[in-house]
Amino acid sequence: MSFGQGGPQSQWDPWKPQSQQPSQQPWNSGQADNTPDWAALAEASEARAKRRRLLFIGGGTLATVAIATAVAVAVVSANGSGQASDGPSSRLPATADIPSASATAPSFAPTSAPPPLDPKDFVSSVKKDKAPLGPDLLFPGTQLTMGETVYKKGPTADTRTCGSAAQKTLPKVLTDNGCTRMMRVTYTQGDVAVTVGVAVFDTEAQAAKAKQQADETSIIRSLSGGGVKSFCTGAVCRSTTNSYGRYAYFTIAGFTDGKDVTEKTTEVFKAGDDLAEFAFRQIRQRGEAQASAAAEAG
């Protein structure tokens, strides 16, 4: 294509660095004036646009190839052979590398506290009831306070012949069931006197049977002396019978002036009940002390 007359055809192309731009070459279309060649300009603009589109397409292809390469490298690195890299690593250990919680947790054999020792067991058989025993140990001190009432301690007695400390039907009951010892002590409060007697057997079964066989006439002998007048030798008195462990305990209560006990003389009933309750507490406490000692000893 010729852009004008009067000289050689120009080889300059604005998209080719090697081409040379003609210096001061006038634009003309064969006419005498300097009017631009609009057709030539349009053709050059179209050529530039075509090259730009090719450049953009080529650049996009190169970018796609670069991204694909990066992804491939990342995948290879994640699935690599496990070789150490030169840079720092923040990779978490695999599941097999993490110790299991159950594998390191300590295990303990099931344990349970031993059942508490039963104090009654230690006063239910001569084989376990080994603590020292005597009337002054079972009934210590010189007086006894029950509630607001104070009882003065009087004479005591201890015998291996149980029947000699009993009367009416009680001697036979004690002998038949193997009584081995009878301890007695008397307490007074005003003109009221109470003798409490504790019979000792080898087993709980013997004591329980003696209690069962005792009747209304099975009574112990009152104990006087040491400032305590004789009582319950001919007057009407009140008696009680009970047992705990290998011990059976009895009371006889009345007036030291020889009066008979009636249903209205409540002070005699109260005194007899107080001494029976105290005897029970002392026997039970004996069992508790021995159970505690056995538990501490292991």
d(CA 54, CA 61): 11
Handedness of CA 153, 250, 163, 182 (dihedral sign): negative
First-to-last alpha carbon distance for the chain, in angstroms, is: 124
Name the residue ranges covered by the structural domains of the chain.
Answer: 121-297
Query: Closest Cα partner for 248 from 176, 286, 197, 199?
Result: 199
**pTM strictly above 0.85:** no
Model confidence over 84-124: pLDDT tens digits? Answer: 444 444 454 554 454 554 555 555 556 665 668 999 999 99
Task: Name the percent of the chain lying above pLDDT 70.
Answer: 61
Residue 72 predicted with pLDDT over 90: no
Q: What is the pLDDT of residue 63?
A: 47
Of residues 238 and 10, the one with the higher pLDDT is: 238
CATH of the domain spanning 121-297, picked from 3.40.1000, 3.40.50, 1.20.120, 1.10.8: 3.40.1000
Q: What is the pLDDT of residue 127?
A: 96
Q: What is the pLDDT of residue 107?
A: 56
For tokens 């005591």, name the residue: 156
d(CA 21, CA 190): 152
Query: Closest Cα partner for 152 from 186, 195, 196?
Result: 186
Model confidence over 200-238: pLDDT tens digits? Answer: 999 999 999 999 999 999 999 999 999 999 999 999 999
- Confidence tier at 298 by pLDDT (50, 70, 90): confident
Q: What is the pLDDT of residue 116?
A: 81
Handedness of CA 258, 262, 264, 270 (dihedral sign): positive
Phi, psi of 251, rounded to the nearest 5 degrees: -135, 150
- DSSP output for 232-284: SSSS--EEEEEEETTEEEEEEEEETT-PPP-TT-HHHHHHHHHHHHHHHHHHH
d(CA 90, CA 83): 14
Query: Closest Cα partner for 240 from 283, 285, 204, 195?
Result: 195
Q: Is residue 209 within 8 Å of residue 157, measured between CB atoms?
A: no
User: How high does pLDDT run on average in the chain?
Assistant: 79
Model confidence over 15-54: pLDDT tens digits? Answer: 444 444 444 444 444 444 455 665 666 666 666 666 555 4
Three-class DSSP category at 266? helix
For tokens 């030169």, name the residue: 86
